[in-house]
């Protein structure tokens, strides 16, 4: 296991060095802010220029933005910005409605079940512009550091698109909620940062830990509470694939926040995608509950005290309907199969 991580770090350092050394002369300025240099498995170098706008159609190497509304629930519209413009071309976008953006993580894509379920449940209960980001071409790279590094690019593109939503339809940043799983949470952190942290809310669903928290990067290189007015984080594979420590305004630790989450098969070393995925599944379920119902969580200093029943005050709700005033660490238990939320207040 240690060897595998060493290997990943070496590749990461290699990529970072190549980016900073080889291009020193002519393009040093703006590295990480306006461009990135990446290396693929065949050691070909790729320049990613952040100035290149999200464009129409699926092209290798670019994130694709799909819009769903109540008028096109099953038939996504690809959003794009015409060359050199700051405006959006869309048929379905409705400027009266708020924006929710959702995205996947490493080795995944926008058609993954929990993501579609979040989109469907949101539109069933609320009139919204739901944008899903498909960055599968970049996320499905077996070299994790490559995908990890590229979250910054995808975040920047997302910020550009959201800027265009404001320019075109007048939707302010206080009406935007960004939701991402794993590396997708890091994408949203960057999007928030590039939008001057003015976005209303970012929900990190078990945000990716390797190369963000391990080793610990400065806050401008990972999701934390400086990226939006309210950052809530759900931990379900803490210390392995997901953030171990609390970096949001509110951090929720269902079932201690670690593996194994109830109903997941016993830990199989590094292959525990079940617990890692639970954060997204809990969040998807939370959207369907009315206000004040669903995943009840309690502020507590440590899980042991929660387990002993010492923290039974100041109940709050985890998930979509979490209060933006929530602060600190919260603990809760869940069921091991759907519905995961335990509605009985006396469950401890």
Mark whether 75 is an active-site residue: no
- What the block records as the tokens of 253 is 């630790």
Vertex 78 angle, CA 106 and 92, to 5°: 130
Give the nearer residue to ligand NAG in terms of CB position, either 9 or 169: 169
Tell the smallest beta-carbon distance from residue 311 to ligand NAG (Å): 6
Q: Which two tokens stand for residue 4?
A: 């595998």
Which residue number, 25 or 344, has a Cβ lying nearer to ligand NAG? Answer: 25
Provide the token pair at 129. 């512009």
- Residue placing its CB nearer to ligand NAG in the complex, 30 or 338: 30
**Closest among 104, 80, 69 to 160, alpha carbons compared:** 80
Active-site residue (options: 90, 108, 147, 182): 182
Does residue 215 have a cis peptide bond before it, meaning omega lies within 30 degrees of 0?
Answer: yes
Asked whether 326 and 229 are in contact (CB, 8 A), the reply is no
The number of residues making up the chain comes to 348
Burial bucket for residue 8 (CB in 10 Å: 0-12, 13-18, 19+)? middle
Alpha carbons 239 and 329: distance in angstroms, whole number: 16
Task: Write down the least CB distance from residue 204 to ligand NAG, Å.
Answer: 22
Distance CA 311, CA 4 (A): 40
- Phi and psi dihedrals of 46, rounded to 5? -130, 130
Choice among 276, 286, 326, 329 that is catalytic = 276
Nearer to ligand NAG among residue 99 and residue 223 (C-beta)? 99
Q: Is 301 a catalytic residue?
A: no
Distance CA(268)–CA(326), nearest Å, equals: 34
Give the C-alpha separation, 189 to 183, whole Å.
Answer: 10
Q: Is 181 a catalytic residue?
A: no
Task: Give me the least distance between CB of 299 and ligand NAG, in Å please.
Answer: 4
- Least separation, in Å, of the C-beta of 328 and ligand NAG? 8
**Helix segments in the chain, DSSP class H:** 2-21, 24-27, 113-125, 136-139, 144-169, 183-194, 273-286, 303-307
Q: Which residue lies nearer to ligand NAG by CB, 85 or 127? A: 127
Q: What gap in Å lies between CA 268 and CA 313, rounded to an integer?
A: 36
- The answer to whether the beta carbons of residues 150 and 184 sit under 8 Å apart is no
Determine whether 270 is exposed, middle or buried from the number of CB atoms within 10 Å of its CB (0-12, 13-18, 19+).
Answer: exposed
Which residue lies nearer to ligand NAG by CB, 88 or 281? 88
Nearest-approach distance from CB 38 to ligand NAG, in angstroms:
13
Residues that bind ligand NAG (CB under 6 A): 27, 35, 47, 49, 51, 71, 94, 96-97, 127, 299, 311, 313-314
Contact by Cβ (8 Å): 208, 238: no
Residue 178 and residue 192 in contact, taking contact as beta carbons nearer than 8 Å = yes
Active-site entry in 104, 108, 177, 206: 206
Q: Shortest approach of ligand NAG to residue 2 CB, angstroms?
A: 37
Nearer to ligand NAG, 112 or 310 (CB): 310
| Least Cβ distance, residue 63 to ligand NAG (angstroms) | 17
Q: Which residues does the annotation mark as catalytic?
A: 182, 206, 276
């Amino acid at each position: 296991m240690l060897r595998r991580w060493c290997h990943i770090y070496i590749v990461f350092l290699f990529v970072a060095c190549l980016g900073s050394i080889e291009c020193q002369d002519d393009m040093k300025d703006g590295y990480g802010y306006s461009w990135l240099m990446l290396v693929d498995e065949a050691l070909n170098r790729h320049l990613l220029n952040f100035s290149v706008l999200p464009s129409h159609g699926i092209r290798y190497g670019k994130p694709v933005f799909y819009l769903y509304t109540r008028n096109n629930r099953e038939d996504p519209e690809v959003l794009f910005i015409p060359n050199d413009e700051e405006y959006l071309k869309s048929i379905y976008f409705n400027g009266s409605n708020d924006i929710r953006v959702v995205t996947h993580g490493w080795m995944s894509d926008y058609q993954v079940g929990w993501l579609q379920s979040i989109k469907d449940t949101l539109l069933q209960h609320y009139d919204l512009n739901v944008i899903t980001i498909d960055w599968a071409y970049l996320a499905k790279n077996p070299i994790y550091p490559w995908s990890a590094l590229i979250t910054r690019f995808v975040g920047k593109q997302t910020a550009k698109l959201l800027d265009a939503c404001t320019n075109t339809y007048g939707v302010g940043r206080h009406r935007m909620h960004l939701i991402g799983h794993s590396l997708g949470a890091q994408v949203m952190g960057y999007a928030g940062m590039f939008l001057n942290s003015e976005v209303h809310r970012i929900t990190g669903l078990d945000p990716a830990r390797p190369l963000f928290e391990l080793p610990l990067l400065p806050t401008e290189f990972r999701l934390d509470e400086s990226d939006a007015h309210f950052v809530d984080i759900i931990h379900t594979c803490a210390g392995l694939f997901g953030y171990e420590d609390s970096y949001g305004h509110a951090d929720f630790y269902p079932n201690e926040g670690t593996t194994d989450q109830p109903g997941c098969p016993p830990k199989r070393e590094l292959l525990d995608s079940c617990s890692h995925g639970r954060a997204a599944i809990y969040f998807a379920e939370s959207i369907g509950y009315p206000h004040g119902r669903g995943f009840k969580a309690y502020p507590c200093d440590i899980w042991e005290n929660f387990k002993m029943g010492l923290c039974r005050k100041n109940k709050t709700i985890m998930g979509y309907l979490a209060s933006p005033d929530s602060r600190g660490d919260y603990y809760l238990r869940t069921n091991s199969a759907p519905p995961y939320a335990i509605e009985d207040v006396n469950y401890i």
